[in-house]
Structure 1
């Protein structure tokens, strides 16, 4: 909700429905929140036009995936980042490719705080979120490597290789 309702204060006439509100009120709220993305908060740096925002959040999604930062991945997805976008400056890798080679920590002690109180999560949680949002395990980069091949050849952690192998089975 911290992502999906961040801009609610700037929307006039909206209030979150309560448990005893009628079904129609709840449906309208849910559609406004998730389908129309009406309560997301954008900043000037995010761009004014939809194309600018998509471009920014595609890059944000890629970098958040590389860092295994589940919160930032969720935010980029909510705001228009595409799991299918290929980063031309990184060999046409997708966010899932980036996540597969990022690997990231396997213990809480190794997690890095981003200064905003949010810790980077393990790459597996990031990969799972990307897959749940339609990322394709068989997507290939400019060298025709799929996600698992990138994890194996690109210094992906053993846990990530095992996770991706299980997803392919």
Structure 2
């Protein structure tokens, strides 16, 4: 039953997680993430695909998480609303629209040029910094879910003896919770 399980019972092992480097351009991180989410040859996306990439520094230390939402907010900033303004205020070099007008009329070529330019943004500029947002293998699933909810995140890095061993995703917690109904 869900309430009896610990994080170690559901975690995705580190070897199965997508990783990228903090200094990589977003373009390369997207290609890496795409390989663990979709079967590129067929274009078919799998249900078990990962939607996040662990961001590592030069010492292979976890420093953040890159997810689809962060990527889309950088590639197409107008979907981000106030986040775009916050990134701009921090000096993140992202090509923003010149006006407040809707970009529904923007030409495909202009949009494509902006996406290509923004894809050169470094992963470290847009990743979610973790700072204490993690779980341990012996933590209960309920406590892990509370940590996710409190921090408004969908993935928790999981540590055992101060060593990163994997991640716990909200989708895995959802499926474990849903399994209660079939018991």
TM-score, normalised relative to structure 2:
0.29
Greater relative contact order (Cα 8 A, min sep 6): structure 1 or 2? 2
The answer to which structure has the higher strand fraction is: 2
TM-score with structure 1 setting the length: 0.30
